[in-house]
Structure 1
Amino acid sequence: MAEAEGLADWMSKLNETFTTVPLSHIAIPGSHDAMAYSLDMDSPVLEPDSLKPMDNMFSAFLRPIVKKWGTAQDKTISEQLDAGTRYFDLRVAGKPESSDFFFYHGLYTTMTVKEAMTELKTWLGQHSKEVVILAFSHFKEMSADQHTDLTNFLKEHFKTKLCPKAKMPSMKDCWESSYQVILSYDDRNIEDPVLWPRIGYWWADNSDPNEVISFLDNKKQTGRPEGLFVAGLNLTFDANDMLQYLTTSLKEKTMTAYPLLLEWVKEQHPGSGTQSINIIAGDFVGVNSFAHDVIQLNNAKN
């Protein structure tokens, strides 16, 4: 069986033991910079900031490089869901002279937030026992009124599918109440019963997979956080790295590192233990055994 096959409804097939424990105690595959598969070469946003002074003169040279290194996924949101992904790292920006909201990673996306959330809602309607965790964060170019507009849209869009933050639910709790969306919104100026606080993300900020693993192992020694949290497998490259590796891309570097990273994944354990994991997020989900390996941790005898 190909790794991505049979994972569209993996939550509904969980061992009963894992359907009654909090969602923070099961292993969940996640997508880092989940929407960074539709980057716009004409974007008014350009990151890292250190590249902006060169953009006017060298945009034809710079922007393809930024796109090559900013593209952290190459599957659509539906394809990522089909491949088993249930946590989505969503970075949102307002756009000058536009009422729409976009995602970004180096550049704006061509897909709007409304379009992506419509696609996701349609998918959820076809998979009624699957639950997703949406982590909205890293907001750019957004006013207080725009935050209000975005959260109002999200609440109206998902309505009764939204799980309130009163307590950490189990899969069984979600099924009994028809909850399918946990909505984390990293802006504490907005309080609402259905807006969950920021979900902690262990980020190594390193381009060496060995250093990423070392960082995550050290974090585990400090004990697991309360509630939902993410161990990030994503490699990080700065502007100097991007310019140094002109002939390669983030995908090539990530795929080269994945065998080592997946060995680390297979050694992990979900649960309530002090060194247990919860969400594990990576780049280019759905193109290898990443999601399958994370999900399989729920079947292992710990």
Structure 2
Amino acid sequence: MTDEMAIFADWMSNLNEKFTEIPLSQLAIPGSHDAMAYSLDVDSSVLEPKKLKSLDKMFSCCLRPIVKKWGTAQDKTVSEQLEAGVRYFDLRVAGKSESSDLFFYHGLYTIMTVKEGMTELATWLRQHTKEVVILAFSHFKEMSDSQHSDLTGFLKEHFKTKLCPKTPMPSLKACWGNGYQVVLSYDKSGVNDDPFLWPRIEYWWAENSDPKEVISYLNNQKLQGRPEGFFVAGLNLTFDGNDMLLYLMKSLKEKTMSAYPLLLDWVKEQHPGSDRENINIIAGDFVGVNSFVQDVIRLNSADNSS
């Protein structure tokens, strides 16, 4: 690991003391949209989008590679994303009728199971004891109530004392003092009474493929005031699938990387903090392949605070 990589692998422990004493919701935190979508299984059935799911059985040999090309939103493993400095993970989970395991998904199922992904993450945390991650489980598909119960039970048992309970928003120092390293958000009704399952984290998402429109949307959202607690400004682009020539000739990575220069200009103008127009988590696709993560982390500097 290079010295620069080491800085970002342990960036929370290296923050100016001022930023270790404020609530986590007032830090600038880099996040990974569809964090596990680097492990998509081209042999699995199509889960989304609906307009293509119905064609899966007839055209699976040519359809699934296209879905994978546009569903692959990351190309770094969870450990590599952590090493790069990512601390928020957007995790979407689905069940399979032919398996007792749960998987992540984005268009297709992942090869990696949820238990494998969380085991890899826990191993990394044991080596970086002052880093805190936010895990946002949402967009559940094909899951029964018993599977939800099994999953939440596994997560609580797996992370044990590393789980930060639903308390007033903690600071890094408070987390360090209590040994907390995981904030676990679980977006499902009926779990609100669980002291270790944080509520849904609001995600600002423009649903647009034009980076200028994404920036305009995020700026308009900021004018309305930041939500209470954690929230995410999503830089991820959205393509509706109507332009089949685009789908055949390009990929999500090509389109995303061409948009990043403009999106990163927006990132560098932001400020963390408690003011109504300040940001908290900023999430994107293909994290760790450009300066996105570093640009977000660098917002946590004394001369950039409100």
TM-score (norm 2): 0.96
1:62-105 per-residue CA deviation (whole Å, 9 max, x = no partner) reads 11110000000000000000000000000000111311110000
**Displacement after TM superposition at 1:242 (Å):** 5.3
- How far the C-alpha of 1:300 sits from its partner, in A, is 5.0
- 1:4 deviation in Å? 4.6
Contact 2:7–2:14 (CA under 8 A) maintained in structure 1? no
Letter in 2 for 1:189: G
CA contact (8 A) 1:15 1:299 kept: yes
In structure 2, the CA distance between the partners of 1:55 and 1:45, relative to structure 1 (3 Å rule), is closer
Decide whether aligned partners of structure 1 residues 258 and 300 sit closer, same or farther in structure 2, where only a CA change above 3 A counts. farther
The offset of 1:41, in angstroms, is: 1.0
Maintained 8 Å contact 1:268/1:276: yes
Equivalent position of 2:240 in the other structure: 238
Structure 1 residue 238: Cα displacement: 1.6
Contact 1:92/1:136 (<8 A) preserved = yes
Amino acid at match of 1:150: L
What are the superposed Cα offsets for residues 161-207 of structure 1, whole Å, 9 maximum, x if unpaired?
00001211000000000000000000121231000000000000000
CA distance in 2, matches of 1:180, 1:243: 45
Identity among equivalent pairs (%): 76
Q: Is the 8 A contact 1:65 1:242 kept in 2?
A: no
Query: 1:3, 1:288 within 8 Å by CA — same for their partners in 2?
Result: no
Number of residue pairs matched? 302
- The 5 Å alignment of 1:1-302 reads 4=5, 6-190=7-191, 191-241=193-243, 243-302=245-304
Query: Per-residue deviation at 1:5?
Result: 5.2
Structure 2 Cα separation of the partners of residues 261 and 300 of structure 1? 23
Given that 1:87 and 1:279 are in contact with CA atoms closer than 8 Å, whether structure 2 keeps it comes out as yes
Say whether the 8 Å CA contact 1:69–1:242 is kept in structure 2: no
SS in 2 for 1:43: coil
- Partner SS state of residue 6, structure 1: helix
- State whether residues 20 and 172 of structure 2, in contact with CA within 8 Å, keep that contact through their aligned partners in structure 1: yes
| Paired amino acid for 2:299 | L
Normalization by structure 1: what TM-score? 0.97
Change (3 A) 1:293 1:242: farther
Distance 1:268 1:76, change over 3 A: same
| Contact 2:16 2:302 survives alignment (8 Å) | no
Work out the CA distance in 2 between the residues paired with 1:207 and 1:142: 30
Residue segments in structure 2 that go unaligned for 5+ positions in a row: none
Deviation at 1:6, TM superposition (A): 2.3
Question: Residues 102 and 54 from structure 1, CA distance in 2 versus in 1: closer, same or farther, beyond 3 angstroms?
Answer: same
The CA distance in 1 between the partners of 2:299 and 2:11, in whole Å, is 12
Contact 2:137–2:185 (CA under 8 A) maintained in structure 1: yes
Deviation string for 1:99-146 (max 9, x for gaps)?
A: 111000000000000000000000000000000000000000011111
8 A contact 2:38–2:74 mirrored in 1: yes
Amino acid of the structure 1 residue aligned with 2:164: C
RMSD: 1.3
- In structure 1, stretches of 5+ residues that fail to align are none
Equivalent AA in structure 2 for residue 276 of structure 1: N
Whole-angstrom CA distance in 1 between matches of 2:163 and 2:147: 21
Deviation, structure 1 residue 2? 8.9
Q: Which contiguous aligned blocks of 4+ residues in structure 1 show a shift greater than 4 angstroms?
A: 1-5
Moved more, 148-157 or 232-241: 232-241
Q: How far did 1:54 drift?
A: 2.1
Q: CA deviation at 1:44?
A: 2.5
Q: Give the drift of 1:22.
A: 0.2
